[in-house]
A and B are shown apart, each in its own frame.
Chain A
Amino acid sequence: MRKNVCFKSAYLPYLLVLPQIVITLLFFIWPALQAISESVVIQDPFGLYSRFVWFHNFVTLFTNTDYINSLIVTLIFSLAVTILSLVGGLFFAVLANRVTRGKRIYNALLILPYAVAPAIAGVLFRFLFDPAIGIFPYWLHYFHYTWNFTINSRQALFLIVIISAWQQVSYNFLFYLAGLQAIPRSLIESAALDGAGPFRRFWSIIFPLLSPTTFFLIVINMLYAFFDTFGIIQIVTQGGPANATQTLVYKIYQDGFMGLDFGGSAAQSVILMLVIIVLTIIQFKFFERSIEY
């Protein structure tokens, strides 16, 4: 198949990509440059005065225990979310792939959480887990377990992990389901004839064949946990208690918009930008190694 398209007019191709370029420049490149330039200055809250300080902002960050704490929280949080939502997604995909009757209903229901806005998911779970009126704390009470995520930092982190993973399971489910369906049935049947039981088949054939999907999803889920969970944290814990759920992104917001430390929060954004760039490069490099049947 021919991949290159030839246009008669010399300008048309440029015109066609123009909107995308404008959007990228306006909403990505310009703010990024802005962040880089702000990360090397210190300015007062009104922007009237600013002083060039080289990498002072970065140095301050890494000597600040709050930032290190936030880094650790983010790592724990994103790893937990990624593992939980990957395992969940894979689990449901394997089950849904076996279903023959009412397949669409199951699939639709499993995809539903993805359609819920993060903030709404946050509110939903906040009610479910509310120490005073929530149903879960009520049940936990029977097991003599005291649940109060507003004062217990482990519980708070656990809660936002659960919410974030719950939302992301749908996404992973979709990709895993597509991945499972792309595996030719004859491979599984061949393994069955070769004497592998369902469990062996899964670990020696299906799971390795899904590895490109898994790898892709690990990167995507890390990115998700890093960046797209802001709404959930904002609604449920606001980074508390005692910064236990203050992820890097949430800290940027708090330092920049609440603390009005523009230089510091810009420096944090630059660091996060590097993280994204690295993750994206890894993804591009390895995602090409897909499997052909």
Chain B
Amino acid sequence: MATIEFKQVRKRYNDIEVIHGIDLAINRGQFVVIVGPSGCGKSTLLRMVAGLEEVSAGEIIINGQLVNDLPPKKRDIAMVFQNYALYPHMSVYENMEYGLKMRGFDRKEIKFRVMKAAKILQLESLLKRKPRDLSGGQRQRVAMGRAIVREPSIFLFDEPLSNLDAKLRVEMRLEIYKLQRELAVTSLYVTHDQVEAMTLADILVVMNKGIIEQVGKPLDIYKRPTTVFVAGFIGSPAMNFIKSTVYDRGQTISIIDQQLIHLPYPLLKQYEETEIIVGIRPEALQIAQSRDQDQFKVKVEVVEALGSDTIVYGRIAGSGQQLVAKLTSNIVTHPGEYLALSVKPEQLHFFDCDTEKRILGI
């Protein structure tokens, strides 16, 4: 168990900076998930923690010790790679004992630990097999086993589940969750799967283009995204963004000219009569119940009935803005029809058009 601290960490590859100053502090035993689009620098950040990649500037501090120049083997870190990186010429047992052997554990202790890990991960019957004779899920488990036998102070995961099929991914996600809670080892987990991010994380870190956009508890980030990017990235289907103008001293905004929506709280004065970005989560939209609610008409274009819910893609009548709504499954509608939708004002998100940052109420 360890603490990890990033101080203005930067990474350059041949003068091209890909990580632009990361500040982050991770507490003992926390499960931190890093999400972000492809190429935003998640793996690079992880590999710098592991010592596989040099830190160009800034400091990485593990357990109060500056590790910038510490070689990987001295960092007491185990990493699970996306392709598992199992040693193909070694059996499952040999794969799991390798790290212990390299660290000079005695045979008895090695055997004890490997058998214990094998039991936890249900690998006992596979110990003699070579990686090529294992299924994807089993390989994944061996990779996990190799990480846990060492009882390291930090786990790093780089998209460990992305090579598995959907069902197995759910299973392994639960297993990783349980395992991490049980072992309480500080973990950094990289993914671009939303569900993994939301369900596994104690702390969620949303990255974009080499910077951290937001850090927080998953639900807090979902409820109060601080930037347009985070708002659009977290949540599925993605949040709707509609450009609107603020009227009436910040009390009312218009989705389009005729359709006014009343705000729960007045917005900052500076936004009076200016354009802002309004974010509406698809799941915040519902069929309008009565005349007195703020509501607007949407022309339905595509209907996806998923069973559990129905996702409707359409355009706002008049402005033609695209909109996605996640409605309850009992709604029956067809392309070409008009739906009257409403949204609770307190479920709206507002962002500045220029900075794309969240606008706070007064």
CB pair B99–A184 under 8 Å, yes or no, is no
Cα–Cα distance between A53 and B72 once the two chains are bound (Å): 72
Q: Which positions 299-356 of chain B face chain A at CB distance < 8 Å?
A: none
CB pair A194–B89 under 8 Å, yes or no, is no
Q: Which of B73-81, B189-197, B221-229 contacts A (4 or more CB under 8 A)?
A: B73-81
Q: How far is the CB of A99 from chain B (nearest CB, A)?
A: 16
Cα–Cα distance between A208 and B89 once the two chains are bound (Å): 7
CB pair A193–B72 under 8 Å, yes or no, is yes
Is B128 close to A, CB under 8 A?
A: no
Is A66 close to B, CB under 8 A?
A: no
Q: Give every chain B residue within 8 A of A186 (Cβ-Cβ).
A: 81-83, 85
CB pair B98–A191 under 8 Å, yes or no, is yes
CB pair A197–B81 under 8 Å, yes or no, is no
Is A195 close to B, CB under 8 A?
A: yes
Q: Give every chain B residue within 8 A of A292 (Cβ-Cβ).
A: 88, 132
CB pair A193–B79 under 8 Å, yes or no, is yes
Is A209 close to B, CB under 8 A?
A: yes
Q: Give every chain B residue within 8 A of A190 (Cβ-Cβ).
A: 79, 81, 85, 87, 146
Q: Give every chain A residue within 8 A of B99 (Cβ-Cβ).
A: 193-195
Q: Give every chain B residue within 8 A of A277 (Cβ-Cβ).
A: none
Q: Give every chain A residue within 8 A of B102 (Cβ-Cβ).
A: 191, 194-196, 200
Is A192 close to B, CB under 8 A?
A: yes
Q: How far is the CB of A191 from chain B (nearest CB, A)?
A: 7
Given contacts A184-B83, A190-B79, A292-B132, contact A195 B88 (CB under 8 A): no
- Checking B73, B83, B150 against A192 with a beta-carbon cut-off of 8 angstroms, the contacting residue is B73
Q: Which positions 158-204 of chain A face chain B at CB distance < 8 Å?
A: 184, 186-187, 189-197, 200, 204
Q: Give every chain A residue within 8 A of B78 (Cβ-Cβ).
A: 193
Is B291 close to A, CB under 8 A?
A: no
CB pair A209–B89 under 8 Å, yes or no, is yes
CB pair B85–A192 under 8 Å, yes or no, is no
Q: Give every chain A residue within 8 A of B87 (Cβ-Cβ).
A: 187, 190-191, 205
Is A282 close to B, CB under 8 A?
A: no
Cα–Cα distance between A195 and B70 once the two chains are bound (Å): 12
Given contacts A184-B83, A209-B89, contact A189 B52 (CB under 8 A): yes
Main secondary structure of the interface of B (DSSP, over half): loop
CB pair A187–B85 under 8 Å, yes or no, is yes
Q: How far is the CB of A214 from chain B (nearest CB, A)?
A: 13
Q: Give every chain B residue within 8 A of A209 (Cβ-Cβ).
A: 88-89
Q: Which A residue's beta carbon lies closest to that of B156?
A: A193
Is A293 close to B, CB under 8 A?
A: yes
Q: Give every chain A residue within 8 A of B146 (Cβ-Cβ).
A: 190, 194
- Checking B72, B75, B88 against A189 with a beta-carbon cut-off of 8 angstroms, the contacting residue is B72
Is A291 close to B, CB under 8 A?
A: yes
Is B230 close to A, CB under 8 A?
A: no
Count how many pairs of residues, one from A and one from B, have CB atoms less than 8 Å apart in the complex. 65
Is B148 close to A, CB under 8 A?
A: no
Q: Which A residue's beta carbon lies closest to that of B79?
A: A193
Cα–Cα distance between A64 and B207 once the two chains are bound (Å): 80
CB pair A291–B98 under 8 Å, yes or no, is no
Residue picked from A189, A190, A197, most chain B C-beta under 10 Å? A190
Q: How far is the CB of B43 from chain A (nearest CB, A)?
A: 11
- Checking A184, A187, A196, A211 against B73 with a beta-carbon cut-off of 8 angstroms, the contacting residue is A196
Q: Mark B49-62, 1 if CB is under 8 A from A, else 0.
A: 01110000000000
Q: Give every chain B residue within 8 A of A187 (Cβ-Cβ).
A: 85, 87-88
Q: Give every chain A residue within 8 A of B132 (Cβ-Cβ).
A: 292
Is B103 close to A, CB under 8 A?
A: yes
Q: Which positions 89-121 of chain B face chain A at CB distance < 8 Å?
A: 89, 98-99, 102-103
Q: Give every chain B residue within 8 A of A208 (Cβ-Cβ).
A: 89
CB pair B89–A193 under 8 Å, yes or no, is no
Q: How far is the CB of B154 from chain A (nearest CB, A)?
A: 10
Q: How far is the CB of B152 from chain A (nearest CB, A)?
A: 9
Cα–Cα distance between A195 and B51 once the two chains are bound (Å): 12
Cα–Cα distance between A192 and B87 once the two chains are bound (Å): 12
Residue picked from A186, A194, A291, A293, most chain B C-beta under 10 Å? A194
CB pair A291–B88 under 8 Å, yes or no, is yes
Cα–Cα distance between A192 and B150 once the two chains are bound (Å): 13
CB pair B52–A192 under 8 Å, yes or no, is yes
Cα–Cα distance between A274 and B52 once the two chains are bound (Å): 51
Cα–Cα distance between A197 and B102 once the two chains are bound (Å): 9
Q: Which A residue's beta carbon lies closest to that of B98?
A: A194
Q: Which positions 191-206 of chain B face chain A at CB distance < 8 Å?
A: none
Q: Which B residue's beta carbon lies closest to that of A197?
A: B73
Cα–Cα distance between A291 and B51 once the two chains are bound (Å): 28
Cα–Cα distance between A212 and B52 once the two chains are bound (Å): 28
Q: Which positions 141-169 of chain B face chain A at CB distance < 8 Å?
A: 146, 150
Q: Give every chain B residue within 8 A of A291 (Cβ-Cβ).
A: 88-89
Q: Mark A99-127, 1 if CB is under 8 A from B, else 0.
A: 00000000000000000000000000000
CB pair B73–A195 under 8 Å, yes or no, is yes
Q: How far is the CB of A187 from chain B (nearest CB, A)?
A: 5
Cα–Cα distance between A209 and B102 once the two chains are bound (Å): 18
Cα–Cα distance between A38 and B81 once the two chains are bound (Å): 63
Q: Give every chain A residue within 8 A of B81 (Cβ-Cβ).
A: 186, 189-190
Q: Which B residue's beta carbon lies closest to that of A209?
A: B89
Known: A189-B50, A189-B79, A196-B73. 4 other contacts (CB 8 A): A189-B52, A193-B78, A292-B88, A293-B83
Listed A/B pairs (14) with beta-carbon separation below 8 Å? A186-B85, A187-B87, A189-B50, A189-B72, A189-B85, A190-B87, A191-B87, A193-B75, A193-B77, A194-B73, A194-B150, A195-B73, A195-B99, A291-B88
